Each structure stands twice: as C-alpha cells, then as structure tokens.
Structure 1
Amino acid sequence: SILRCCRLLRLVRIVRHLSQMRELTRLLEMTGGCARTLFWAFLLMGFVMTSWAILAVEVVRPTVVELADVHGEWADCERCRRAFNSVFEANLTLFQTIVSGDSWGAVALPVIEFRPWTAAIFMGSLLTIVFGVLNLT
C-alpha cells in the first residue's frame, strides 16, 4: 500500500511536468477541440458510403452474380462473389476498394471490363468519398 502511494506520487509528478510543456498541452487541447468535427466527418463519410453501397447492391450486384455464375469469374475468391450481396458487404467492399485503395483488381476491374457503364458507380463513389468527404477532415 505504501508502494502504491509512492507510485501515485510519481504519476502526479509526471503530470505536473506535462503541464509545463506548453506545446504538448496546446496539442492535446486542439485534438480535443477537433474531436466533434471528426465525429461529424466520419458520420458523413458513413452516410455517403452507405448511399453508394445501396446503389451498388441494386445496380452492380446483378453483374457480379452473372459474372460469377455464367462466366465463372472469381472461382477462387469466395469474398468476391458476395461482395455486393448486402449493403453491409457492399460497404466493406467500397471501404476496402476506395478508402484503403486495396483490391481494385479483385472486384471492380472485372465488373468494369464486363459492363463498362458500372465505372460510373465506382468512379462516382471514389470522387465523392476520397475527394469530397476525406478532404474535409
């Protein structure tokens, strides 16, 4: 118990020294101040991505199903076959493809090569999410 009190006193001493570092204090204050803005930016990004995901499920999913069933595309990729089966999976696919920039060749490119007009959905979501929403934060 005495050892715990000594540790607490050391912790208080460290906090006292941190308060003397004005730059660090200012940085922590600014981080706290922008938390509300970041929350709304993430909420907006989620709304925009979900809107594109709903459109992708309605428009891109039939193309994915046709490519998988009729043309045998994605025989070795189970995730690719169900990439647009639901709004949640479409959100994951769009996040992986657009925000992370990963796996454009796995799902998006075969779909665009098969039906070139679907590029409007992928490019539209790319433009609104990356250049619109992510540049706000």
Structure 2
Amino acid sequence: MVMQRVSLLTIGAFDLPKLRSFYKGIGWEETEFSSDNYAAFKTAGVILSIFPIEELAKDAGIEISHTADQFRGVSFAINVDSVEQVDSTIEDIRKVGGKILREPSDAFWGGRTAYFADPENNLWEVAWNPTAVFDERGAMVSF
C-alpha cells in the first residue's frame, strides 16, 4: 500500500533564479535547504521546491520534452480563507509580474476563483471554497 501523502512538490525550472525571485517576490519564505542550485519554500501543507529542469529530468531518467512556454498539464492551488483574499492575492501576484490568466470571478460551485502563471507558465489557481476545512497549520484537510 502506498502512503497517502504529498510532502514535496518540485517544479523543474528553466531559469531557477528568475522563478526563485518570483516566489520570494510574492512573499514566500525559503527554507534553510535553499542554495544557489535549489530553492525550497515553506507552505502550509507541503514544501514547494524549484530545481533546474535539466537536473530534474536527469534524476528521473527522462528527457525534457517541452519548453517553458508550454502548458505542462498541471496546476497548483492556493486556497485562501476569505472571498476577498482571492482578489487581493491576485493583485499581489500582478504587482510582481505574474501573468493573470483568469481574473477573479464567482465559481459555479459556490466559491471564488482566479488563475495566474508564474514566469515559466506554471499554472496556479487562487480559490476560496466556502466548505474548505484547514488544520491548525493552514493545510487543507477537506473541501
């Protein structure tokens, strides 16, 4: 049986300093594990790491099959505590150069949502879900 746990998400970076600067610019705190060749950011639920894409592909035993401007088929989500935080978070992202893909809007499922892309087109949703439940660290445990 595979343990049902996601503990680390790694984004393969084409330009690690640029991505690192973006995530620091939105106010995310790096861990003590960060270095010139690796960045790791604390989040409520998992560690988000950024690693050179060539090294990530080599470690996984695969070849890179896309560029930074192509959709990778994955999105990440930042679930916020209030409906107003969707809008304010998108404004903070806009200020540091994030590409807003979908402006904040009410969702058919009763919440509020928006999308942005980081400098390498990794997609992020910012969402407020009225039924979301978070633990004491701020990690989502149910929705």
Q: Same fold (TM over 0.5)?
A: no
Using the size of structure 1 for normalisation, the TM-score is: 0.27
Larger radius of gyration: 1
Using the size of structure 2 for normalisation, the TM-score is: 0.26
Q: Which has the higher contact order (CA 8 A, sep 6+)?
A: 1
